[in-house]
Amino acid sequence: MKLHPRAVLSSIGVATLAMTLSTTAAAAPSAVVLGGEDTTAKPTVFSASDMLFRVTGLLAARLELSDAFAVDAEGAELDAGTHANLLARAGFSWTSYDTLAPWYLGVDLELDAFSGLVTDGPSLAGTALPNSGGHDALVVRNANVTLSYEGIVALKAGVMTSHWGLGLVANDGAHGWRPGSATFIDPRGGDRVLRGQLAVQTPGELKIGAALAFDEVLHDDQLLPGDSARQVILAAFFDTPVYRGGFYGVARFQETDEGREINAFVFDFYTQAEADLGDGLKLRLGGELAAIFGDTTLAPSPDHPQHDVLQLGGVARVALEDANVGGVLDVVFASGDEDFGDGWQNAFRADPNFSLGVVLFPYVMAAQTGRATLTAEAPELTGYPAEDLDRFPTRGSVSNTISFFPRLWFRPAQGLEIYGGPLLALSTAAMADPLNSKLAGGDPRNARNAAPSGYLGTELDLGARYRMIAWGSELLVGLEGGVLLPGKALKANGNDSGGAVGAVRAMLSWTL
């Protein structure tokens, strides 16, 4: 029987709608950011003849390293080494403001001049291993035009990034750390589409609206080289000063260069709310729930040339904060898939820019699933190589887990914030490696060739950021680290090999 990976189709990186309209903009609503207001530096704005011009810029650098750890049954180790990741981004926008009232015309341009690694990847063979992604140069993130009438109806067309809710499924890679968020994050890339969109909404403080869009996907986490994808999107939303939420449905049709197809339908709901409890105490609630249905001819087997798709993912977030201290709790669910031969693909993967911790998902699970693309190509054991193994690696995404991540943060001095907490992670399905599970007759075996338990591990994370704003620009310096105490779901059989794994990263960014 032919091998096939359990997670060929993970959560579709759907590029969602730019929804909230106004007389001065037609842009996507802010993601749900809990535990702190968006107090990042404001862009430089110029005005002339009742028109507005905006210039933005971002320079960022990250230096990271981790311990070596075993990634397969033979004990091969990933020694990730030390890696440097850079980002240079520039943007410009123009709006007619009151010049054409009641009509509004806007142009938005944004470019990543450079994004990614400036160091070589790990020497270990595999696919999409940690810090092996290389870099991109001269990537157009936004090049679009918006025409709106009194903020009630708007047309928007061109290249654009996309973000929805908490960024679980669609993520623009531009929602980074904010004061009070206690988030371990340093995003890169993001979902990009060539889109035509029509959106309408009610006037006034209570906004209720809907939007229709057609996309040619340019980049997201599911579009591998040689793939093409198109999307039809229908969304509905509401927005008030206290509550916000919405729904979008997406029909996605993706094809590989070998003619295999993914036909998927995504239903995603999100909401957020906040309450002032008095004496400066605030409560913020947010959540996102996504379900993916469909079918795919990727990773065919003799018994199942076509697989049905059913994947579920969700996140709930609660934040309680005062002026200089607070706490945040994230609860994340992502369905897994332990059976390679049942005709279903159930493994949900969050967008890679939806970050959860420092070690478990971006390093250990990414490395073990990335190594599997090499070990599973064993023709002397299977008769012929497995197909579509390049779809199996998680690429750092949160997958196959129910995780609890409580964090505390406090500000000991102006501009300085310290945050941290334990990440407790269980698997929703047994960890299954393609080769080891095949040799065990189809029973789940993890990457270390052990019958896995449901305990992924406990990760202890700690971070600090110092933030300074001067002349409208922001300087941010950060240091984050974590230690993973792996559970039996990740260990080898009958021993404690694969002990604690640590990782640390230093970050510097300047935002204009």
Which of left, alpha, beta for 378 (phi over 0: left; psi -120 to 50: alpha)?
beta
Q: Is residue 241 part of a domain?
A: yes
Q: Is residue 227 part of a domain?
A: yes
Alpha carbons 393 and 372: distance in angstroms, whole number: 8
Q: Is residue 341 part of a domain?
A: yes
Average pLDDT for residues 143-149, to the nearest whole number? 96
Q: Which of 68-77, 192-201, 418-427 has the lowest mean pLDDT?
A: 68-77
Q: Which of 3-7, 236-240, 361-365 has the lowest mean pLDDT?
A: 3-7
CATH code, domain carrying 435: 2.40.160.100
Q: Is residue 9 part of a domain?
A: no
Average pLDDT taken over every residue of the chain: 86
Contact 200, 213 (CB under 8 A): no
Alpha carbons 200 and 205: distance in angstroms, whole number: 15
Q: Is residue 7 part of a domain?
A: no
Q: pLDDT tens for residues 406-417? A: 999 999 999 999
Predicted confidence at residue 17, as pLDDT, reads 35
Question: DSSP for 363-431?
Answer: IIIHHHHHHHHHHT--HHHHSSPPSSGGG---TT--BSEEEEEEEEEEEEETTEEEEEEEEEEE-SS--
Q: Nearest to residue 281, comparing CAs of 238, 326, 343, 333?
A: 326
Predicted confidence at residue 48, as pLDDT, reads 57
Task: Report residue 383's pLDDT band, with 50, 70 and 90 as the boundaries.
Answer: low
Task: Report residue 460's pLDDT band, with 50, 70 and 90 as the boundaries.
Answer: very high
Contact 292, 311 (CB under 8 A): yes
The DSSP H or E segment spanning 434 is helix 434-439
Q: Is residue 260 part of a domain?
A: yes
Question: DSSP for 128-183?
Answer: S-TT---EEEEEEEEEEEEEEETTTEEEEEEEEE---TTSSS---S-----TT---
Predicted confidence at residue 142, as pLDDT, reads 96
Tell me the pTM.
Answer: 0.89
Q: Is residue 10 part of a domain?
A: no
What are the C-alpha distances in Å from 378 to residues 233, 386, 393, 433? Answer: 41, 8, 17, 13
Predicted confidence at residue 340, as pLDDT, reads 73
Instruction: Say whether pLDDT at 14 is over 50.
Output: no
Q: Is residue 1 part of a domain?
A: no
Alpha carbons 510 and 503: distance in angstroms, whole number: 24
Alpha carbons 512 and 497: distance in angstroms, whole number: 47
Tally the domains of the chain: 1
Q: Computed from CA positions of residues 176, 327, 31, 484, in that sequence, does the dihedral angle turn out positive or negative?
A: positive
Average pLDDT for residues 364-388, to the nearest whole number? 77
Q: pLDDT tens for residues 195-251? A: 999 999 998 888 999 999 999 999 999 999 999 999 999 999 999 888 999 998 999
List the domain range (segments joined by +) for residue 181: 20-187+194-511
What are the C-alpha distances in Å from 54 to residues 148, 161, 185? Answer: 19, 18, 26
- ∠ Cα 13 433 260 (to 5°): 45
Predicted confidence at residue 44, as pLDDT, reads 57
What is the phi/psi pair of residue 369, to 5°? -75, -30
- The two tokens of residue 24 are 């001065």
Q: pLDDT tens for residues 152-188? A: 999 999 999 988 889 999 999 999 999 999 999 999 9
